Amino acid sequence: MKRYATVRPFLTVIANVLPLAATPAGSPLLTAVRGLGGLVGRKRVTRSEIVDEVVTGTWRRLVFPGTESPDGIVDHRVYTLCVLESLHRALRRRGVYAVGSAR
């Protein structure tokens, strides 16, 4: 959670400026990355506003605090870090790539 303040200023740049494309397997992640800019500065984010397929493993219990949360409220700061970590992995595996890059 401490890293959210570090990445927050760059979320709109990552979401809107970088020319990213994806393979069919990476398209849900690309949708999640493009949606990060809209989450900045919001206090409440519901589960219907995020891409569930990106949240896997141990991130699930952190992003979705439990079934007792009203209206499916999720922790958007943890979700942001989850998406960025998944983006890092996908860039290394070439599931998501920069358009026009030589590699």
pLDDT at res. 67: 64
The range of the structural domain enclosing residue 60 comes to 4-98
**Is 103 within a domain?**
no
Instruction: For residue 9, count CB atoms less than 10 angstroms from its CB and return exposed for 0-12, middle for 13-18, buried for 19 or more.
Output: exposed
* Structure confidence by residue, pLDDT tens digits, 29-85: 999 999 988 888 888 898 889 998 999 988 988 888 776 666 688 988 899 989 999
- DSSP letter string, 16-47: HTS-EEE-GGGHHHHHHHHHGGGGTT-S-EEG
**Is 48 within a domain?**
yes
| CA pair distance 16, 1, nearest whole angstrom | 23
* Structure-model confidence comparison of residues 22 and 100, the more confident one: 22
pTM for the predicted model, two decimal places = 0.86
Number of domains in the chain: 1
The total number of residues written for the chain in this structure: 103
pLDDT at res. 8: 83
